[in-house]
Amino acid sequence: MWSRAGWGIRFSSPIGVWQAEHVDLPHVEAQLDTSQTLFTETQIRDRLEEMAREIETDYEGRELLLVGVLKGAVMVMADLSRALNRHLEIDWMAVSSYGSGTSSSGVVRILKDLDTDIMGRHVLIVEDIIDTGLTLSWLVTNLRSRGPASVEIATLLRKPDAIQNEVDVRYVGFDIPNAFVVGYGLDYSEKYRNLRCIGTLAPHVYS
Ligand code: PRP
């Protein structure tokens, strides 16, 4: 087993300041151009479980529709929805905000719309990451115009330093530094989505 040692990052999250520990990367991931693991599979799962408990409490007695934003939210949706011990429905939208590079373009367009009429529904948008906030602020406005009972956001990651459009996010897994991250649904040129952990991309990959 290959291991990476001797580093530590501190950054804040809703559950306090999070201290990255020495992490063993699976051999396959070590070879996949990630320079640092920010969150292991276990840490992601544990945080999603905590978020699920909050959501269960907040939506008790109300029907819940999870709306995943393709493609990045696939892993979060799969694990968060299964962590929720209650009935729910799932739908998907695909919107585009990034090019194939490492920063937001600011352009948002619908590539796939919902199959569900959300009039009167309680909608919880499920995202992998909020970066500039452009995508989510646009999406929330769009969905609210359809007459839902409520629209809230759950995101695994948020970059407070990159935000350009303030978005009211109800559930945040981790606040992270303004670095390019991949894995667990997050891509660089469509690669790395299948990593079980989340890590920063080594600069040599995109420079
Ligand atoms: C990512 C992510 C969000 C958006 C956030 O999606 O899933 O939807 O970018 O960025 P923003 O806060 O700067 O708007 P992306 O457009 O990369 O598509 P993908 O999910 O298919 O990778």
Q: Among 33, 128, 131, 187, which one carries the catalytic annotation?
A: 131
Q: What is the pLDDT of residue 158?
A: 96
67, 69, 76, 175, best to mutate for ligand 1 pocket (most atoms within 8 Å of CB): 69
Other CB atoms within 10 A of residue 32 CB: 19
- Across the chain, mean pLDDT equals 83
> Domains of the chain (ranges plus CATH)?
41-178 (3.40.50.2020)
- Among 61-70, 128-137, 160-169, name the one with the lowest average pLDDT: 160-169
> Which residues, in sequence order, are CB contacts of 103 under 8 Å at separation 6+?
none
CB 47 within 8 A of CB 156: yes
pTM of the model: 0.83
**114-131 pLDDT, tens per residue?**
999 999 999 999 999 999
Q: What is the pLDDT of residue 154?
A: 98
Selection from 150, 144, 153, 187 nearest residue 172 by Cα: 153
Is 46 annotated in the active site?
A: no
**137-193 pLDDT, tens per residue?**
999 999 999 999 999 999 999 998 888 888 999 999 999 998 889 999 999 989 999
User: Residue 195 Cα, ligand 1 centroid: separation in angstroms?
Assistant: 17
Q: Can you tell me the mean pLDDT for 60-84?
A: 98
